Structure 1
Amino acid sequence: MFVFLTGEVRRKSSFRQSPLLTAAPGRALIDEQISIKGHFLSQNYPVTVCAQMHSEEGDLWEAFAHYTTNASKMTSDHSVGGSYLGCEPMGLFWALEPALGSREVLRLRKRNVETPYIVNISLLEGHTSPSEGQSTELAAVTVERWYMAPGVRRIEIRQNKIVGTLFLPPGEPGPFSAMLDLWGMGGGLSEYRSALFASRGFASLSVAYMGHKDLPGPPDIMSVGDLYFKSAFQLLQDHCQVDADRVGVIGLSFGVCLTLRIATRIGVKVRPKLTCFEICRMIITLLFAYEKYKSDRQAIMNDVNIHLFPFPVKNITCPLMYIVGEDDQCAASTENADIEEALRSAGKSQLFTRLSYPGAGHLIEIPYIMVNKFAVLFTLWGGHPAPHAAAQEDSWKRILEFMETHLRR
């Protein structure tokens, strides 16, 4: 939230306090809101609030917004220009983009979750942009944004041929409710959602299945099968600090296919509290079309369907949530209704929860992070920044509520 407190202040007066910028909390988890306030500003005063941070690769990311203090004691918190418009309390964070002139960056992903993002926030005189480079800085503040709460334990897993990372909540020894965390075909090992789950009291095992040096086969090929995912699920169930009856699965992008397969085909013993989550489109079909590259180097997905697995959805016996971005340009949507219909026909509609977000694209992730626009191979994710950011904020709250209801109560 942005608040500007006005007063009869002259910047150059030695008897009046200079403008001040505060952020609270200064150290926060990535899914927590940060309140930013400007103090001791003149009335009807144009200012720009700018956020800048460096990625782990050294790229500069930035966002900015224009505000005007009014004649009252407190201004409205509506941006009138810049990276976003209107009332967007966390806009400075989800609107971050590579700075002008930076190398081309497709996606910002936190790889070392044991360190924070350091975001420098500055208050600039007038309505300006960071690229102009001649703005007068009135005040500044720095915030830390973390994926791991103090006390969360991170444990590398390399056993039974499983490549992953287990995160355990701080405090009590458990047993904890837990999540098996599966990502998409970008490869590697993404840990940040699991770290955040553990920060919220759930054990979580993030598993790599392609594109990792410790996995067999070429990095661009998925060389593991059903036994691998069954073993990962059982490894999590068997951990001494995990409640084996309260384990769920979450999938993002292609991870959705794997989540459905675990729930319906590979022989995992489904217990009453097993919960499956489907994040983004239900990818019963993926759209993989390789048109010639446009002048802007973007390959546009066309309407070619590659059917992957005939999932026996009627076999599902656990609560199922799936989340849809209605402007997803990366995955087909017409088949999504088949999931709901199959469960209805099997008399299991009570197990099904659907969240659908107009204007949101592919990859509905955790809240208040940068909205990613492009995939690998320069394919479009779809969606628009503000509604996509709103979808991430709302869906994360709903996911945590769903987990609380079905895994901990």
Structure 2
Amino acid sequence: MSTIFPPKDPWSCFVRNIPFPYFESTLWARSYRDTILGFAYIAHDGDNFILVFSHRLRKRNVETPYSVQLSLLEGHIPVLPSEGSNKEQQQRGEQELAAVTVERWYMAPGVRRIEIRQNGVVGTLFLPPGPGPFPAMVDLWGMGGGLIEYRSALFASRGFASLSLAYIGHKDIPGPLNTINVGDAYFQPRCVIGVNGPIGSINKLSDSDGKTESFEGDQKHWSYDEQGYVSFREVSTPNNIPPENKAKVENLCCPLLYIVGEDDLSCAAIENADEIEKKLKDAGRSHLFTRLSYLGAGHLIEPPYTPNARASMWTTRPKKLITLWGGHLAPHAAAQEDAWKRTLEFMERHLRG
């Protein structure tokens, strides 16, 4: 098995900008061994080629790698190969000049994965190799729900014990699927990292049991583009969030790193960052706030080198709904690289230092 660009850190590298002299060739890629996620193509950007996927990549089984076969083909292919295309179309310009298989692993050797289903807590704990003790963190994703593990697996591969915690949209969480089952009383953190997150919710954040009212989203704040894709951005605009539903960030007693994608079409990230910064400044705690802001980056600032999806399927029930995330290829990829590096530095300083 080989890679095109041997990374210094194989646990944080997938497919990034590939330096090639520009010539008229097309590169196909297909992902398998987990879920077939679609085909990709290369867009020319200055001196680089950029791998573009047609679907959002989300690794489900972190104990196996993504395995992507890359083929460099002479000429251009006018149509995607498919069962419906004829042999002449599939063979047109398909002389293979080079091929390589790229793997991305999410768990370093020795990382332990432990499923947690206890006292209403649903999650997966990842422990680094060795006896410990380890600096520890809780990894919470957004409102897409379920249990997402790949970021926690990467953190554990970097020496941090990481609990990926499900809090909405998981079958093992007590109560209805569309209610949030986590409260702020769970945590007394040494530091906090937020990625394009709002300061609160249109819905009530939590009651004394740590559960919200039914989370359906207020559709009067949804907006649609000319293709019918939905943006949830206005739902999270601070002016649309009731004051009683906002987090009391002015009471924060630990450092906060807030990461902003300036082309976020799913959350009003810039406006939320401004409000958080103002509240901390008014409380005399501005020294706790660090903002990383990335021009051209969208909502899905993930570990590098995850291909960005500017839009993807949100739900199919009761009808198909495609949501906008935002982000442009090159600046979003650069943002993911820099944000990941700065995130790890922040954690090293405040959790291990």
TM over 0.5: yes
Structure 1 residues 180, 164: closer, same or farther in 2, change over 3 A?
same
Tell me the TM-score normalized by structure 1: 0.68
The CA deviation at 1:385 is 2.0
Q: What residue number does 2:303 align with?
A: 366
Q: What residue number does 1:251 align with?
A: none
Q: Is 2:106 the partner of 1:147? A: yes
Structure 1 residues 268, 353: closer, same or farther in 2, change over 3 A?
same
Q: What residue number does 1:235 align with?
A: none
Q: Is 2:192 the partner of 1:276? A: yes
Q: Which deviates more, 198-207 or 284-293? A: 284-293
Q: What residue number does 1:296 align with?
A: 227
The one of 2, 8, 11 aligned to 1:29:
11
Q: Is 2:244 the partner of 1:307? A: no
Structure 1 residues 129, 353: closer, same or farther in 2, change over 3 A?
farther
Question: Which residues of structure 2 form unaligned runs of 5+?
Answer: 81-88, 203-216, 315-320
Structure 1 residues 126, 180: closer, same or farther in 2, change over 3 A?
same
For the 8 Å contact 1:147–1:196, the answer to whether it is kept is yes
For the 8 Å contact 1:289–1:300, the answer to whether it is kept is no
Tell me the TM-score normalized by structure 2: 0.78
CA distance in 1, matches of 2:22, 2:39: 29
The one of 110, 121, 129 aligned to 2:70:
121
The CA deviation at 1:123 is 2.0
Identity %: 52
Structure 1 residues 166, 292: closer, same or farther in 2, change over 3 A?
closer
Written as runs of structure 1 = structure 2, the 5 A alignment for 1:170-209 is 170=129, 172-209=130-167
For the 8 Å contact 2:22–2:44, the answer to whether it is kept is no
For the 8 Å contact 2:54–2:309, the answer to whether it is kept is no
CA distance in 2, matches of 1:152, 1:176: 12
Written as runs of structure 1 = structure 2, the 5 A alignment for 1:3-402 is 23-25=4-6, 28-31=10-13, 46-54=24-32, 56-64=34-42, 83-88=43-48, 91-92=50-51, 95-98=52-55, 107-128=56-77, 131=80, 133=90, 134=92, 135-170=94-129, 172-219=130-177, 221-226=178-183, 262=184, 266=185, 268-270=187-189, 274-284=190-200, 288-289=218-219, 296-301=227-232, 303=234, 305=237, 306-307=240-241, 309-332=245-268, 333-374=270-311, 376=314, 377-402=321-346
CA distance in 2, matches of 1:267, 1:357: 31
Highest Rg: 1 or 2? 1
Q: Which deviates more, 335-344 or 300-309? A: 300-309
Structure 1 residues 114, 208: closer, same or farther in 2, change over 3 A?
same
CA distance in 2, matches of 1:293, 1:44: 37
Structure 1 residues 322, 158: closer, same or farther in 2, change over 3 A?
same
Structure 1 residues 294, 346: closer, same or farther in 2, change over 3 A?
closer
The CA deviation at 1:365 is 1.2
For the 8 Å contact 2:11–2:106, the answer to whether it is kept is yes
CA distance in 2, matches of 1:51, 1:313: 44
CA RMSD of aligned residues (A): 3.0
What SS does the aligned partner of 2:292 have?
Answer: strand
For the 8 Å contact 1:25–1:35, the answer to whether it is kept is no
Structure 1 residues 88, 174: closer, same or farther in 2, change over 3 A?
farther
Deviations 1:134-189, CA, capped at 9 Å, x for gaps: 2101221112111111111000011222100000112x211001110001111110
What SS does the aligned partner of 2:170 have?
Answer: coil
Structure 1 residues 343, 28: closer, same or farther in 2, change over 3 A?
same
Paired residue type of 1:307: I
CA distance in 2, matches of 1:48, 1:33: 16
For the 8 Å contact 2:19–2:47, the answer to whether it is kept is no
The CA deviation at 1:279 is 0.9
Higher RCO (CA < 8 A, seq sep 6+): 2
Aligned length: 313
What SS does the aligned partner of 1:51 have?
Answer: strand
Paired residue type of 1:276: V
The CA deviation at 1:292 is 8.4
Paired residue type of 2:13: D
Structure 1 residues 381, 317: closer, same or farther in 2, change over 3 A?
same
Structure 1 residues 196, 176: closer, same or farther in 2, change over 3 A?
same
